Amino acid sequence: MEWWLDMQEAHFDSPAQAAFMAWRGEHPLHELAWEKALALGAQLDSLRTQGDPGLARQALLLPSQEGLSRRRAIKGLALLLAAGTGAWLSRDSELVSRMSADYTTGVGEQRRVALASDLSLELNTRSAINARATDQRWHLRLLSGEVLINTALNPALFIETAQVRAQASSARFTMRQFDNGSTQLAVYRGSLDVLPTQASSWTTLQAGQLARFGPLGMLDQGAMQASTPAWAEGMIVANGQPLQAFLNELGRYRHGHLGCDAALANLRVWGTYPLADSDRIIDAVAQTLKLDVQRFTRLWINLRPLPANV
């Protein structure tokens, strides 16, 4: 939390940024601590922008000459928030799971892996998967994030998350595990049989179908016309998404907090953007929607209405 507090100060210069990056690289648990600090920071910002001003506004908006008191106020509120969300370094956290996974990607990273001549996978940002081959078949378990699978196996490949089990012998499909306890599957070629972990009957998805499942069954279903996911081609696509939902999706590919004022959350976003430069995407969306980009640091960005005199 100290690093997050330092970033709110004007003196967080280039040497400080270099020291911060070095600290993050020293140990995987430092990255975990930083992710937790960002999550708490987002809760602080949510209190400031959406809720009753109260303590959050006082803590975040105190003038710089009262820096010590301001830091104490923020830290005290952060500790209260942390107490409600459990231990920061819980052993069952997503990052700890990634540390022990067979294949992983970091924020903004994508990785292709050829497991066999007839089985390959591509991991999207912040993803982790375990892969195990037996005498009969391959077994994969997606621990977090998203994966694109190409398979022509016989017997069928098995892949699972905490919510579903699926099998396919000749297919191209994606599997994505959401933080809310659901799994989305999208089939681009072939078919996929899916069994929620607490259900008794299988569901078959054909090419062009996508569906989201919980452990008890299908939550929703839709259709698509793309031949491959946009992210696998280095793109992100918005087809009338609410602004907050689009920023949440874009935020998967970058470090830090990316959000908008609550009043802007349902503005609609359209367009196709290259993922290689998320800052340019943010600027382009802000220009189209005539919004102001607040950059407190590169790791803390918020969109708000343009000031009245602009």
Question: For every one of its 310 residues, what pLDDT tens digit does the chain have, with 9 covering 90 and above?
Answer: 454 555 555 455 666 666 667 666 666 666 666 676 666 666 555 554 454 444 444 444 444 444 444 445 444 545 544 454 454 444 445 555 666 789 999 899 999 999 999 999 999 999 999 999 987 789 999 999 999 999 998 888 999 999 999 999 999 999 999 988 899 999 999 999 999 999 989 999 999 999 999 999 999 999 987 889 999 999 999 999 999 999 999 999 998 899 999 999 999 999 999 999 999 999 999 999 999 999 987 788 999 999 875 5
Q: Residue 4: what pLDDT?
A: 53
Q: Residue 38: what pLDDT?
A: 67
Q: Residue 206: what pLDDT?
A: 96
The verdict on 155 and 215 lying in the same domain is yes
Q: Is 5 left (phi over 0), alpha (psi -120 to 50) or beta?
A: alpha
The verdict on 168 and 251 lying in the same domain is no
The verdict on 106 and 205 lying in the same domain is yes
Calpha distance 233→80 (Å, rounded): 42
What is the extent of the structural domain holding 121? 100-223
CA angle at residue 139 from 200 to 221, to 5 degrees? 45
The verdict on 209 and 122 lying in the same domain is yes
The upper half-sphere exposure of residue 276, i.e. CA atoms within 13 Å in the direction of its Cβ, equals: 3
Q: Of 223, 248, 280, which one is at a domain's C-terminal end?
A: 223
Residues 6+ positions from 11 with CB-CB distance below 8 Å: none
CB 41 within 8 A of CB 4: yes
The verdict on 149 and 200 lying in the same domain is yes
The verdict on 204 and 300 lying in the same domain is no
Q: Residue 155: what pLDDT?
A: 82
Please report, as a single letter, which amino acid is at residue 272: T
The verdict on 105 and 218 lying in the same domain is yes
Please report, as a single letter, which amino acid is at residue 65: Q
**Gyration radius (Cα) of the chain, Å:** 21
Q: Domain for residue 218, yes or no?
A: yes
Q: Domain for residue 93, yes or no?
A: no
| Structural domains in the chain (count) | 3
Q: Domain for residue 108, yes or no?
A: yes
Q: Does the predicted TM-score (pTM) go above 0.85?
A: no
| DSSP string computed for 257-275 | EEEE-GGGTT-EEEEEEET
The verdict on 217 and 119 lying in the same domain is yes
Q: Residue 32: what pLDDT?
A: 67
Q: Residue 76: what pLDDT?
A: 53
The verdict on 130 and 209 lying in the same domain is yes
Q: Residue 54: what pLDDT?
A: 45
Residues 6+ positions from 198 with CB-CB distance below 8 Å: 215, 216
| DSSP string computed for 41-65 | HHHHHHHHHTS--HHHHHHHHS-GG
Tell me, what CATH number does 299's domain have? 3.55.50.30
Q: Domain for residue 165, yes or no?
A: yes
The verdict on 11 and 55 lying in the same domain is yes
Closest among 148, 177, 146 to 164, alpha carbons compared: 177
Q: Of 223, 244, 263, which one is at a domain's C-terminal end?
A: 223
Q: Of 38, 55, 85, which one is at a domain's C-terminal end?
A: 85
Buried b (16+ CB within 10 A) or exposed e, 118-151: ebbbbbbbbbbbebeeeeeebebbbbbbbbbbbb
- In angstroms, what CA-CA distances link 291 with 98, 132, 288, 305? 36, 48, 8, 5
Tell me, what CATH number does 104's domain have? 2.60.120.1440
The verdict on 215 and 242 lying in the same domain is no
Please report, as a single letter, which amino acid is at residue 186: A
Q: Domain for residue 94, yes or no?
A: no
Q: Is 175 left (phi over 0), alpha (psi -120 to 50) or beta?
A: beta
The verdict on 160 and 190 lying in the same domain is yes
Q: Residue 249: what pLDDT?
A: 96
